[in-house]
Each structure stands twice: as structure tokens, then as C-alpha cells.
Amino acid sequence: MAHRSHTEAPNFNPVLWWSTVVGICAIIACGSIFVTLSYLKKRKFEIEHPRPAYLAKLPDFTATNRDGGEVSFSQLEGDIWVAGYQYTGCPGGCLGMAGIMKNLYDKFGDRDDFHLVSISLDPKEDTPAKMDAWVKRNGIDVENWWFLTGNEERIREYMIRNFKFFGVVENTDPEEIARSGKFSHDQRLALVDGAGHVRGMYDVMNTTQPGMAAASFEQLVSDICYLFEESGKPLPAGAGDPYADAPDTDS
């Protein structure tokens, strides 16, 4: 009679089995610890630096830069940028705003992904050549800073509808014009992320509340740092303190 062959069951090795179980548990535990620490680090950063809100998505816009060339906001895709009003006939306030923006440039301007945009609210007078001369005369002739002019109606409508800047009021009183300039206008700065979202408005020229302007500037700097972190391109180690030397803009 033929005998059936039987496959013998492998010997159970408890040491090997428990070693495998322990190894798998260790891998899971290490992964969990890594994920938890990463989350806690991110959470700590978000608590210390609250995320700037999404205020609006900017449609593309084309204007004339001070060199006479046409530029579009779409060219700034991937960049963190700050925008505000400017005009060359302003007796003083616009110089203050330019000084604040220059402070931002001194902190972040060595990055290729940071940009400043000053937009004329008096484009009928602010030709590219006039704006270029004004920039050079006031010592702010630097790279990555546009000074834009163009069609007045298009510019003002865009600034109000999309950035949510306040409307421009033309002054008629000669004393007011001599003191404050031809126009009363929004003196806030807008912060825009790399995807074209307005992420904050900052009252850096506030003269009615002590400390408000400096606090707004510090918040703007903090939010710029946050957006670089959010985009995966944080400030490099040893870059210095970006919050140092905040301008005294309340005087």
C-alpha cells in the first residue's frame, strides 16, 4: 500500500515571532512620535504667529512700470508681495510710506521671492519718467519694487474692488492741499501671498492711536514671515531678527 506524503508544519519560533512584533510596534511608535512632534511644532508656530486670513483673490492686472514697460500681477506668482498707494505730488505722507516700504525691503529684499508694489493714485500726472525721477531722487531705486501708473479709472476701480482699499477723495481746500496733498487716500498696506490672495491690510501710517502704526508694521513683518513658512521657504538660519528696528511711524 502506498503511503501518503505529509508536509510537515514549520517549527514555531517564539523568539522570532516576538522580535517581529516588537519591531513592528517600534516602527509604529517612532512614526507616531514623529508625527506628533511635527504637529506640536506646527501648532506652536501657529499659536505664536496666527495665520493671516484670506481676504480676497486678486484677478490679474496690467499697468505701466516706471521704466515704461508693461507688467502684470501674474508675474508675481509664487512671490510674497506688499502693495500700497503712492503719488509723486504728495507733500510728505507718501515719503513716509515709501520709508516704511524701504524698511520692509531692507528686511526681505535680498530674497528673489519678495516684492514691493507702489501704485499711483494720480496717474494723469505720474508719468513713468516722473515716477522714475521721484524714485531716484528719494533714494529708493532698488530691484523688486514696481512703481505703477496707467489709466486712472481702471486703477482706482481695481484697488477698491479687489484690494478693498478705501476710495480716493480729491481735496479742494488750498490749505488742505498744501498740508496733506491733492488727495486724501487709504494709507494702509496690503499683503499678498504667492497664489494672489490678499492676506492682510495694515494701518502702518496710523497717526491717531499711539503705537498703532508700529504695532501694524510688526504684525505685517510677522505675517510675511508666516507666509514664507507656509510656502515652505522660511527665513534661513542666521538671517537676523526681522522684527528689529521697527519704524516709529506715530510721529
Amino acid at position 174, single letter: P
**Residues 108-153: tens digit of each pLDDT:** 999 999 999 999 988 999 999 999 999 999 999 998 999 999 999 9
* Claim to verify: residue 23 and residue 114 sit in the same structural domain: no
- The answer to whether residue 1 sits within a structural domain is no
Residue 87: per-residue pLDDT: 87
Minimal CA–CA distance to 201: which of 223, 230, 233, 227? Answer: 223
- The answer to whether residue 80 sits within a structural domain is yes
- The answer to whether residue 101 sits within a structural domain is yes
How many structural domains are present in the chain?
2
> To which H or E segment does residue 211 belong?
none
Residue 250: per-residue pLDDT: 43
Q: Where are the beta strands (DSSP E) in 43-105?
A: 56-57, 62-64, 70-72, 80-86
Handedness of CA 50, 51, 55, 59 (dihedral sign): positive
CA distance 107 to 80: 13
- The answer to whether residue 105 sits within a structural domain is yes
* Claim to verify: residue 169 and residue 193 sit in the same structural domain: yes
- The answer to whether residue 186 sits within a structural domain is yes
Q: Which three cell numbers stand for residue 210?
A: 499711539
- The answer to whether residue 3 sits within a structural domain is no
* Claim to verify: residue 73 and residue 191 sit in the same structural domain: yes
Say what percent of the chain tops pLDDT 90: 50
* Claim to verify: residue 99 and residue 216 sit in the same structural domain: yes
- The answer to whether residue 219 sits within a structural domain is yes
* Claim to verify: residue 88 and residue 117 sit in the same structural domain: yes
**Residues 34-89: tens digit of each pLDDT:** 666 665 665 565 566 678 888 889 999 999 999 999 999 999 999 999 999 988 88
* Claim to verify: residue 78 and residue 126 sit in the same structural domain: yes
The domain of 157 spans 56-230
* Claim to verify: residue 39 and residue 60 sit in the same structural domain: no
- The answer to whether residue 144 sits within a structural domain is yes
Q: Which three cell numbers stand for residue 17?
A: 515571532
55: three-class secondary structure by DSSP: coil
- Overall average pLDDT of the 168-186 stretch: 72
